[in-house]
Amino acid sequence: MIKESDVVSLFVPFPNTDANLALNAHMYICHKVVEGETDLIKCQTFKNKYFIQNEVKHKVVEDPDINRNPFIRKSLIDCDKLFQFIGVYIPEALLAKRRRDVCPGLFRDVETELSAEGYTVPEVNLRELVDINGLL
């Protein structure tokens, strides 16, 4: 069973199955796992355009560091959105391979940004989520 601060790799059909999140697996930090609900925060490879265009207001930028995270590239953690999956079991087989979680300090930084001015909870089609992720 995955737990808070674990990092999983998933395909997420947001906003639909043709979107980048559905076609390419992204890492997600587990914010909460409680009785059939899993809340995840998206991580993606850092690109300067996110700063220039202010596409992501609340974010944490993290360099790869095996002592802190499982990332292999500089990453942007998007704290503007929280993906909630209810009734979907995420197995440990989807955990990041280099390191299963983020360190407590990074997790606190993410939580601080997440709660700064609130976040949105995008609606995700759970049937499509399960269909494009063979292990769910």
Is 57 contained in some domain? yes
Q: What is the pTM for the complete model shown?
A: 0.92
pLDDT at position 48: 75
> 86: domain CATH number?
2.30.30
Q: What average pLDDT score do residues 41-52 get?
A: 79
Domain that holds residue 85: 7-132
Report which of 70, 97, 99, 88 is spatially closest to residue 135, judged by C-alpha positions: 88
Number of domains in the chain: 1
Q: What is the mean pLDDT of residues 29-49?
A: 91
- In three-state secondary structure terms, 65 is coil
In a domain, 114, yes or no: yes
